[in-house]
């Protein structure tokens, strides 16, 4: 059954993929070349090849050859290697000289002077709880080859724009590249959701379910409501027992356990981005006391809410 327009949980999950760009770079490599990119906590790496070719190596995954027009995502902030030839040395990229156009955009030129490979690379952070939940479920690599994708023409046009801006960086060019890159990241995630069978199981599969997807949307939209199994079941015109069994079967945990964990994800996001007080946040999420909220937060997150420090939107890069 197709969800009505008011409740489209998967669309809401994609809408939540609003990101903060941590670092963007136009990389101009000449053979022989290779670099090691560091792990970056809570971030997703992306690479767009605009000229030449290279090989991506991520631990636990098969190496991928990247050609012009290819987009590759490396979720979970994993460190990885890019190289033009199999035997090229791979120094740490943060140790190479960068020409900073702005505090978050740099140009890197490195290599032995041979054949050229040009990439637009970046690390982005997803701040919304739904987005982080979704990104946690992504595979180690998402490789989008536009020539074989349904959205090929649209992606190729975007890639051509990025390539043109990268070739001759004009005033405001870094802003154009970063905005287009963000769009490509979302498009890469959408491509995986639409084409990979594993995106139809677990939490993502539950989002697609006409009943449980609606329940998840209600919890996501109103985490402060005094939800119970009975009240959620009533919203779906289901019996309490049928709802409880179906929710656990599809989501992988009981409904009220999910409600609590979702509230704590929201709380963690607010503490990091707004710096709200614990007392204020407890009230916002429907807890009758600060102590009850703090106990739940520590049980789910592993630390006390008071120990969570606010994160600056723009991290230091190298």
2 vs 233, which has greater pLDDT? 233
Task: Place 257 in a pLDDT band, splitting at 50, 70 and 90.
Answer: very high
What DSSP state is assigned to residue 222? Answer: -
pLDDT digits 0-9 by tens, 29-61: 999 999 999 998 878 999 989 899 999 999 999
Task: Place 108 in a pLDDT band, splitting at 50, 70 and 90.
Answer: very high
DSSP 56-94: EE-TTS--EEE-TT-EEEEGGG--EEEESSTT----BGG
Task: Place 315 in a pLDDT band, splitting at 50, 70 and 90.
Answer: very low
CA separation for the pair 259, 248 (Å, rounded) = 12
C-alpha 72: how far from chain center? 13
Show the tokens assigned to 165. Answer: 């801006």
């Amino acid at each position: 059954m197709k969800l009505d327009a008011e409740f489209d949980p998967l669309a809401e999950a994609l809408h939540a993929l609003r990101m903060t760009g941590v670092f963007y770079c136009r990389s101009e490599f000449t053979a022989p070349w290779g670099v090691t990119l560091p792990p970056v906590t809570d971030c997703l790496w992306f690479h767009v090849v605009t000229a030449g070719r290279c090989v991506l190596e991520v631990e636990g995954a098969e190496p991928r050859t990247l050609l012009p027009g290819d987009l590759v995502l490396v979720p979970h902030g994993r460190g990885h290697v890019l190289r033009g030839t199999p035997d090229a040395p791979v120094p740490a990229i943060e140790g190479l000289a960068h020409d900073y156009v702005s505090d978050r955009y740099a140009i890197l030129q490195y290599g032995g002077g041979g054949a050229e490979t040009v990439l637009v690379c970046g690390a982005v952070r997803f701040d919304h709880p739904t987005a982080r939940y979704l990104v946690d479920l992504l595979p180690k690599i998402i490789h989008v080859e536009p020539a074989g994708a349904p959205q090929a023409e649209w992606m190729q046009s975007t890639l051509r724009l990025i390539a043109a801006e990268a070739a001759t960086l004009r005033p405001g060019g870094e802003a154009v590249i970063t905005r287009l890159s963000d769009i490509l990241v979302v498009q890469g995630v959408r491509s995986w959701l639409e084409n990979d069978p594993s995106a139809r199981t677990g939490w993502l599969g539950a989002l697609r379910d006409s009943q449980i997807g609606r329940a998840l949307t209600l919890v996501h939209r109103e985490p402060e409501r005094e939800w119970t199994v009975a009240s959620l079941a009533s919203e779906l015109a289901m019996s309490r027992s049928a709802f409880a069994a179906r929710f656990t079967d599809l989501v992988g945990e009981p409904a009220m356990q999910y409600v609590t964990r979702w509230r704590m994800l929201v709380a963690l996001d607010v503490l990091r981005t707004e710096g709200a007080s614990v007392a204020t946040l407890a009230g916002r999420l429907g807890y009758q006391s600060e102590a009850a909220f703090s106990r739940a937060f520590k049980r789910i997150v592993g630390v006390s809410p008071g120990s969570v420090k606010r994160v600056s939107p723009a991290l230091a890069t190298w």
